[in-house]
């Protein structure tokens, strides 16, 4: 649905009074502004501490669910002590540091080589990740279509999946999706039995919205991208912070 036809969500305090809520938060474009490149982001101070305060309000039912690797998130904002899923949901860790589900696997070296060649050919930026790799074409958006086609061919030759996002095409192993992460967290304490709310801005967050709806909750789309599956909308990153009282 078009972003401007979705209503704003009810206040979080009201939702928490009505029952137990679990929050699943995307990172880029939701909690921090989109920047010119993966390392150009401007990160608010003390984000891990602020997450801890929010998690305490929710009795631990808070998880960050990002396309970035968790090592990358930690490098940018510091170590997290809330539940978190990186690599598009493939790498899941509970608040106590225990891994939820199987350990995620890195991509094969020949795939990284093929993506590096592609990056060179189109002047794109190759972002290497613990469990995937992304080609960023923000500096040359016209190359996005060709990069997408070439990335899809590499994916199909190697049994991988392409994730599209804002000026990015990423290769991941099958099964890496944010909906899977939401479903996995919702099976275990302290999430089980609560109402999941997923907040995100990008196409990969649609899986999170769908999973939240399926489990009795809903999605909140952020920004100007039209969402097919969210129930509510917040226009800007600062509105997300305000809604969360982060
Ligand atoms: O799921 P997310 O936490 O939103 O992560 C999605 C991707 O975010 C990053 O790329 C995006 O943000 C960059 C910085 O603002 C921007 O330059 C890029 O164009 C965006 O696609 C990150 O680099 C990727 O690894 C994440 O998968």
Who's near 185: CB < 8 A, 6+ residues apart? 22, 24, 63, 83, 85, 92, 100, 191
Torsion angle in degrees (nearest 10) through CA of 38, 44, 45, 47: -80
Number of domains forming the structure of the chain: 2
SS3 228: coil
Residue range 194-210, pLDDT digits in tens: 999 999 999 999 999 99
89 and 29 part of one domain: yes
pLDDT above 70 for 4: no
CA distance 147 to 135: 8
Residue range 117-144, pLDDT digits in tens: 999 999 999 999 999 999 999 999 999 9
207 is catalytic: no
pLDDT at position 93 is 97
pLDDT at position 36 is 96
10 and 130 part of one domain: no
88 and 203 part of one domain: yes
Residue range 27-49, pLDDT digits in tens: 999 999 999 999 999 999 999 99
35 and 64 part of one domain: yes
Rounded to 5°, angle at Cα 170 from 165 and 173: 125
Q: For position 228, which CATH number holds?
A: 3.40.50.1000
Domain boundaries, position 124: 109-172
pLDDT at position 8 is 98
**Cβ of 167 below 6 Å from ligand 1:** yes
22 and 98 part of one domain: yes
Cβ neighbours, 10 Å, residue 246? 14
48 and 135 part of one domain: no
Beta-bridged to residue 201, according to DSSP, are none
Q: Is 170 exposed, middle or buried (0-12, 13-18, 19+ CB in 10 A)?
A: buried
77 and 126 part of one domain: no
167 and 180 part of one domain: no
- Cα within 13 Å of Cα(105), Cβ side: 7
From 33, 35, 47, 67, give the residue whose CB has the most ligand 1 atoms within 8 Å, as the site to mutate. Answer: 67
Residue range 166-195, pLDDT digits in tens: 999 999 999 999 999 999 999 999 999 999
pLDDT at position 103 is 87
Yes or no: say if 96 and 82 are a contact pair by the CB < 8 Å rule: no
**Cβ of 127 below 6 Å from ligand 1:** yes
Mean confidence (pLDDT) of the chain: 96
pLDDT above 90 for 66: yes
CA distance 30 to 33: 7
pLDDT above 80 for 1: no
98 and 125 part of one domain: no
133 and 95 part of one domain: no
Q: Which one of the listed residues 26, 177, 201, 202 is annotated catalytic? A: 26
pLDDT above 70 for 2: no
pLDDT above 90 for 221: yes
199 and 81 part of one domain: yes
**DSSP per-residue string spanning 125-147:** EEEEETTEEEEE-TT-GGGHHHH
26 and 59 part of one domain: yes
Q: DSSP label at 216? A: T
């Amino acid at each position: 649905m078009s972003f401007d036809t979705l209503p704003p969500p009810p206040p979080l305090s009201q939702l928490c009074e009505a029952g137990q809520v679990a929050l699943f938060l995307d990172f880029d474009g939701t909690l921090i502004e989109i920047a010119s490149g993966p390392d150009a982001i401007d990160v608010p101070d003390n984000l891990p501490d602020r997450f801890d305060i929010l998690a305490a309000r929710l009795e631990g039912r808070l998880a960050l669910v990002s396309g970035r690797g968790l090592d990358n998130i930690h490098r940018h904002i510091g170590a997290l002590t809330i539940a978190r899923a990186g690599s598009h949901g493939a790498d899941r860790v509970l608040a106590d540091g225990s891994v939820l589900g199987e350990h995620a696997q890195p991509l094969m070296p020949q795939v990284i080589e093929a993506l590096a060649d592609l990056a060179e050919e189109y002047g794109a930026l190759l972002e290497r990740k613990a469990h995937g790799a992304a080609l960023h074409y923000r500096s040359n958006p016209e190359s996005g279509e060709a990069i997408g086609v070439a990335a899809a061919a590499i994916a199909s030759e190697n049994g991988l999946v392409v994730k599209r996002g804002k000026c990015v095409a990423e290769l991941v192993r099958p099964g890496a999706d944010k909906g899977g992460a939401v479903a996995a967290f919702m099976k275990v304490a302290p999430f089980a039995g609560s109402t999941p709310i997923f907040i995100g801005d990008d196409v990969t967050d649609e899986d999170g919205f769908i999973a939240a709806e399926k489990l009795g909750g809903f999605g909140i789309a952020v920004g100007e991208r039209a969402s097919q599956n969210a129930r509510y909308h917040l226009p800007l990153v600062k509105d997300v912070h305000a809604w969360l009282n982060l």
